[in-house]
Amino acid sequence: MSDAVRKRFGENAEAIAAQQDARTAATAERVRRLLTLTGEERALDVGTGAGEFALVLAPLVREVVGVDIVPELLDQARARAPANMQLVEADATRLPFPPGSFDLVCCARTLHHTPRPELIVAELTRVLRPGGTMLVVDQIAPIDPLAALELNRFEVARDPSTTRILADVDLRGLFDSNNLVLRHAEHERHQRDLDRYLDLAGCEGEHRERAQSLAPGGYTAELGWYVLTRPAPRY
């Protein structure tokens, strides 16, 4: 993953952590509703940032490992981490774990920050045990190609670490190519305060003016939640 990701998130680690903390309760409620857990799982959160999903999962599983490439964000996560949560600095496209290491893998708000999202989904699948569960959460682009182009122009102007926000059909294609079974999908919409959204990315000066000129009117972001299974082999 690019140096732009490290720079953008490293410089804004405290603000990102504060935003994650503010939505932890809502995230925890949705995760508990979507996932059926026994408490004995070993879980992985790829692109953990300041640990939002890892922290939500920690009380629900035996062990959770959070992975990110931004050391400043991992420091924020460590300050919040319980005893059963481990943080690892690693690239999501080259995870340092053997095949089938985890019962549950999670990747939230990460795929649109890499030029090769298919590599991340392939790695998530590789380290997930057969029969295990995958949770993918990411912003969704409109199905209309022109609307998607306009959205991505704005998002890249706001945050140069953004590569491309995928449409629902693109994400489902990535899942299908890894033989993952989609068990449940749902979307949620968020009305975004433009100034606060630009502040979060550290978008200032000429870059801010350009992003403001490209912003969709009354910007409402759509977030997709996907619960998938890696099928166990049949003998």
CATH code for residues 3-229: 3.40.50.150
Three-class SS of residue 139? strand
Q: What is the mean predicted confidence (pLDDT) over 205-211?
A: 93
Q: How far is CA 212 from CA 59, 157, 159, 163, in A?
A: 40, 9, 12, 19
Sign of CA dihedral 124, 172, 16, 60: negative
What average pLDDT does the structure give for the chain?
92
CA contacts within 13 A on the Cβ side of 214: 20
Could you read off the pLDDT of 123-156 as tens digits, one per residue?
999 999 999 999 999 999 999 999 999 999 999 9
Could you read off the pLDDT of 155-177 as tens digits, one per residue?
999 998 899 999 999 999 999 99
Residue matched to tokens 């890499």 = 114
Band of residue 82 on the pLDDT scale cut at 50, 70, 90: very high
Residue matched to tokens 């392939």 = 122
Burial grade of 155 (CB within 10 A; 0-12, 13-18, 19 or more): buried
Band of residue 61 on the pLDDT scale cut at 50, 70, 90: very high
Q: Which two tokens stand for residue 132?
A: 């295990």
